[in-house]
Amino acid sequence: MTTGLRLMQCGAPMREAQLPPAEDSFDVIVCGGGTAGLPAAVAATRRGAKVAIIERYGFPGGNAATSIMPCWHGIQTHHSGLLREFGHMVEDFGVGPIPLKDKHIEPEVVKILFLKLAADNGIRLYLHHLIVGAITRDGRITAVVTESKAGKRVFAARVLIDATGDGDLCFHAGADFTKGDKGSVQAMSLRFRIGYVDFARFASYAGERQEFGWGDKVRQIAERDARGERRQGIMFSSRLDKLFDLHRDRYPDLPSNTYFNCSSIRPGELSVNSTRIYNLDPTNPDHLTEAEVALRRQAWEIWRFLRDNIPGFADSVITETAAQAGVRESRVIVGDHVLSVEEGMAGAQFGDSVQTCCVRFDSHDKARYETGGTGGLCDVPFGCFIPKGLEGVLTTGRCVSCDHLMNSAFRRMENAFQSGEVAGTAAALAAINGTTPRNLDVGRLQRELTGSGFNVRQTLPLVAGPG
């Protein structure tokens, strides 16, 4: 029995007669070039498939890039297959923290290396294409419809992968989906970076005010900066929000019910994850507009508060805000299997497991911010990737079939990335063998994944960390 499930209103497939003919046809089309989408495309193309990625922005990288999100919590221990390869690529690139030794990756490096992976693997990129529809025949998705400055375009594929995070492709095809806990999703947040922080001064203050819970991390950042170290990221999560509460009258846009969660991956800089807004639907454009305005005001208010009140921030500036409000949770497509919190708590094992979910629960709910505990490490059965009632399509990343709390663990980047490798491998096998993902021999898929060094079931300990 899964908790918090509620079916929401479905989209509707488009009428083919009203659309231009398909311009090109692929074995596999990956919808969304983000954390899960790019590895999905690489995995598919390496198995001989002709692959395209369709992406709404001018760069790949997804939330790792658009939310300037540097923390890949499980990557030091929980890496296999393509994720391990990607970790080594980042190390060789030589910019920013070293992910297999440290839990951080510089977001700009994700953008450029995802582009390199696409080019090196012969993946056709369609950037600046927004997915606005799906064409289905007898319950099978056969093509995706995009909108761009040039109007509508149609691209056909034997198998499609929904890697949009929000489940847009499956939504347009009429799939069942859930949204959060009875419609209430985790908070949206806008990350931002503050540059020119004097960490030596900040560390003196932090040392005196240990009640805010930053431990010795701020001092470690100061020491790192003094050494001129460029390849070490340091994260701390403090309760500076308790101080916010004392100053709300002078700083009315400070967020409430939050934490002060920061990473420093560049000298003199903090990447801050502290803004948040609740009770808005990230697939409703009016709600998104409200979120963008409120979260940007919060970011500048937090900076103003730090500049005025915390030693070391007097000469700081906001050097970057994320490209958009970060979405932790939206539509989750109901699959043949819905991975539940009970299964996560029990460390469930499945014969048809294709990956491990490795990071513990981290649900930024308004009523109960739940992070930690021992639950969340479990096998992920292949049925989670197959949208119920649809053929010719797989999900990957944040929209893979889980209940609300389980999704708070599965959405994490190392899980999302590795789910991409699963979906891409499955899609290529199905396309090349003339079958559908649902009818794939899962044993064959497991052998294919294992053969490229990928862990299809639990072998490693659970990973912690908020995000």
Ligand X SMILES: Cc1cc2nc3c(=O)[nH]c(=O)nc-3n(C[C@H](O)[C@H](O)[C@H](O)COP(=O)(O)OP(=O)(O)OC[C@H]3O[C@@H](n4cnc5c(N)ncnc54)[C@H](O)[C@@H]3O)c2cc1C
> Minimum distance from CB of 282 to ligand X (Å)?
9
Q: Which 104-133 residues touch ligand X, going by CB under 6 A?
A: 130-131
Phi, psi of 362 (to 5 degrees): -155, 75
Distances (CA, A) of 93 to 104, 105, 365, 418: 14, 11, 37, 21
Return the residue matching tokens 């500076």: 240
According to CB under 6 A, which one of 2, 164, 425, 455 is a site residue for ligand X?
164
Q: Does 412 bind ligand X (CB under 6 A)?
A: yes
The closest alpha carbon to 396, from 388, 409, 408, 387, belongs to: 387
Compute the residue count for the chain. Answer: 467
> Minimum distance from CB of 38 to ligand X (Å)?
8
Q: Which 50-79 residues touch ligand X, going by CB under 6 A?
A: 54-57, 62-64, 67, 69, 71-73
Helical axes 37-45 vs 81-93, angle rounded to 10°? 110
Beta strand pairing status for 234-238 and 260-264? antiparallel
Q: Does 36 bind ligand X (CB under 6 A)?
A: yes
Q: Nearer to ligand X by C-beta: 144 or 449?
A: 144
> Minimum distance from CB of 315 to ligand X (Å)?
27
Beta strand pairing status for 24-31 and 151-162? parallel
Q: Does 397 bind ligand X (CB under 6 A)?
A: yes
> Minimum distance from CB of 146 to ligand X (Å)?
7
Q: Does 167 bind ligand X (CB under 6 A)?
A: no
Partnered with residue 131 across adjacent β-strands are: 146
325 CB-near residues (< 8 Å, 6+ apart): 188, 189, 190, 277, 282, 288, 291, 292, 295
According to CB under 6 A, which one of 413, 423, 456, 462 is a site residue for ligand X?
413
Binding residues for ligand X, rule CB under 6 A, total 38
Q: Does 37 bind ligand X (CB under 6 A)?
A: yes
According to CB under 6 A, which one of 4, 13, 33, 180 is a site residue for ligand X?
33
Q: Does 327 bind ligand X (CB under 6 A)?
A: yes
Q: Which 448-467 residues touch ligand X, going by CB under 6 A?
A: 467
Residue 346: Cβ within 10 Å count? 11
Contacts with ligand X by CB under 6 A lie at 32-37, 54-57, 62-64, 67, 69, 71-73, 130-131, 163-166, 168, 189, 191, 273, 326-328, 397-398, 411-413, 416, 467
